[in-house]
Structure 1
Amino acid sequence: MRVKEVRRAKIMKNSLLYTALLSSALTLPSATAYAGQWTLGLGAIGMEEIYHGQNESYTLFPVITYETENLSVGVEGAFYQFYGDENSPLGLYTGIGISGNGYDSGDATILKGMKTRHDGVDLSLGSEFDLGVASLSAAVAGDISGHHNGFKMSIGLESSLPVNRYLIVAPSIKMEALSKDYVDYYFGVNDSEATVARSAYKGKDTVNTSASLGFITPLTEEWLIVNQLAYTWLGDAISDSPLIKRDKVFSGTIMTTYTF
């Protein structure tokens, strides 16, 4: 059974870290959504810094989505479910969304003098299969913006476990493969950018693995509070970069949403 509240917990900017920490941002529209349903809200995420000399480890983000039976549009992109409904265990979707781990040279000490890296725009194809007690998802997405020119593939398993009327526990695990072009663009160091403290580095294919535990509290039919704890193991091609200070990242998220 697809649980709509879990979908709302995924609505964030689709960067590498946010994607890993909050599961996939390629949101599959709920087959039971009411036509013309809006969800608005505000959230905050705090995480361990990954760059050497990074100044901030928290971000506020808006939650804005418009959802119909087959379409979901929000700050993370637009996704259309072209196969499957509430009576089918399999759902297939396609969409366009923001991706990447863009930064400016002022975001961390180690990035000073680096060229700005821009977020990409991905064209994606994905699926979700309802296993009853859990949901299995898979997706592939490639950049069409010409920024990182890479692609990523992911597979994940998530579940929604109602404890009582005021609490749903949502554990999930995910693996995400990133192409060498993606890794090199965001975590590589060009020869012209190399310094004594920052050697040249060429990215290569890698895989991130993450696990999360969400706590969803329905206050009313319209209001939700979502908390999530996540742990991500960065792939070697990322953690070996001279820009990166750690190979594991812990994060915590809280947000509240209103649906009408």
Structure 2
Amino acid sequence: MYKSLVAALMLFCTTLSYANEKKLENESTVFNETFSWQIQMGLSGYYYDIILKDVEQVDTIDFINASLLIDFYYKGFFIQSNHRRTDTHTLGAEVGYQLIVNDEWELDIISKSYIGGFDPEFIQDDSSRDIPIIEGLDSRSIGSGVGLRYNRYFESSQLSIDVASLGLSSSVNGWLVEAFYTQLIPYRNWDIYLNSSITFYAKETMDYYFGIDPHEVTEIRPLYTAKSDIKVQLEAFFQHPITEKWTFNAGFSYSRYLGDITDSPIVDQPDASQIMLGVLYVF
């Protein structure tokens, strides 16, 4: 399965690279400018799968996301929001500095959130029913990290490769390697972004989120040590201008862990889908 899925992902990226009808803007570099900024506000409706057992969207507020997207550039320093991703409510913004900049490639040092955390107490309080499988678990913090990013720019596509260290807790440091490819396909008054990614998570990272420590063991939650894993993701994101200030956005993504993540007592399924519909207002 590993080989077939990875091969399919590589074929997907290779096929997209030939659809060079419109230039994809270099988002993290503002050529010939010293300072630039942009602020956007978004409101979206979300449906997303949760891989944790017995945890699901319940209340209306769980399906709504409000976001503030800030882009800023000053002499190599930048804040970059995820305008063209379905999962903006988890990913957040990226902060970085350009180490090397060329017309075709770039090397940055970057800080961002790579993995969403979860708080079992908050989940339980927000739920209308008891969820015994997560009762007594420690909170898993957001997987924020610092690393190096290599960007390679093509006519209407971009490849990014991140190698990042994650400060998960005072005693756990994880790491990951992530390759992300995006292809812009303009169609009439629509901008369509086809995205794909493959991420390798180190053993320490997977064990922090999905492992069960001795003090977390219960009758229904045995001791468990997670292994390293690989996640692949495919995504389609659509943008359409409504007015000069308003833009309609829609996105769908599908992700899947290729390893043994469902061996964890708290994991229900290895894959997840997300659907998003929303609008953005540019100030």
Structure 1's unaligned 5+ residue stretches are 5-27
Instruction: Give the count of matched residue pairs.
Output: 234
1:169–1:214 contact (8 Å) kept in structure 2: yes
Distance between the aligned counterparts of 1:200 and 1:226, measured in 2? 43
1:180–1:206 contact (8 Å) kept in structure 2: yes
By how many angstroms is 1:189 displaced? 0.7
SS at match of 1:181: helix
Q: What is the identity, as a one-letter code, of the residue corresponding to 1:149?
A: N
Distance between the aligned counterparts of 2:238 and 2:100, measured in 1? 29
- The alignment status of 1:124 with 2:147, answered yes or no, reads yes
Q: Superposition pairs for residues 48-87 of structure 1, below 5 Å?
A: 48-56=49-57, 58=63, 60-68=65-73, 70=76, 71-72=78-79, 75-84=92-101
Q: What is the identity, as a one-letter code, of the residue corresponding to 2:70?
A: T
CA RMSD between the two structures = 2.4
Query: Compared with structure 1, are the counterparts of its residues 237 and 101 closer, same or farther at alpha carbon in structure 2 (3 Å cutoff)?
Result: farther
Partner of 1:102: 117
- The alignment status of 1:153 with 2:177, answered yes or no, reads yes
SS at match of 1:203: coil
By how many angstroms is 1:240 displaced? 2.4
2:249–2:279 contact (8 Å) kept in structure 1: yes
Partner of 2:232: 209
SS at match of 1:184: helix
Which is greater in Rg? 2
Q: Superposition pairs for residues 175-254 of structure 1, below 5 Å?
A: 175-254=198-277
More helix by share: 2
What whole-Å deviation, never above 9, does each CA across 1:3-35 have from its counterpart, x for those lacking one? 37xxxxxxxxxxxxxxxxxxxxxxx52436871
What whole-Å deviation, never above 9, does each CA across 1:203-241 have from its counterpart, x for those lacking one? 121100010111111224433222110110123242321
Structure 2's unaligned 5+ residue stretches are 1-22, 82-91, 125-130
Distance between the aligned counterparts of 1:3 and 1:225, measured in 2? 19
Distance between the aligned counterparts of 1:243 and 1:46, measured in 2? 21
By how many angstroms is 1:256 displaced? 2.1
Q: List structure 1 runs of 4+ shifted beyond 6 angstroms.
A: none
The answer to which of 76-85 and 137-146 deviates more is 76-85
Q: Out of 187, 205, 208, which is 1:163 matched to? A: 187
2:240–2:247 contact (8 Å) kept in structure 1: yes
Identity, % of aligned positions: 19
Query: Compared with structure 1, are the counterparts of its residues 122 and 224 closer, same or farther at alpha carbon in structure 2 (3 Å cutoff)?
Result: same
The answer to which of 42-51 and 239-248 deviates more is 42-51
1:153–1:177 contact (8 Å) kept in structure 2: yes
Distance between the aligned counterparts of 1:178 and 1:154, measured in 2? 9
Query: Compared with structure 1, are the counterparts of its residues 172 and 189 closer, same or farther at alpha carbon in structure 2 (3 Å cutoff)?
Result: same
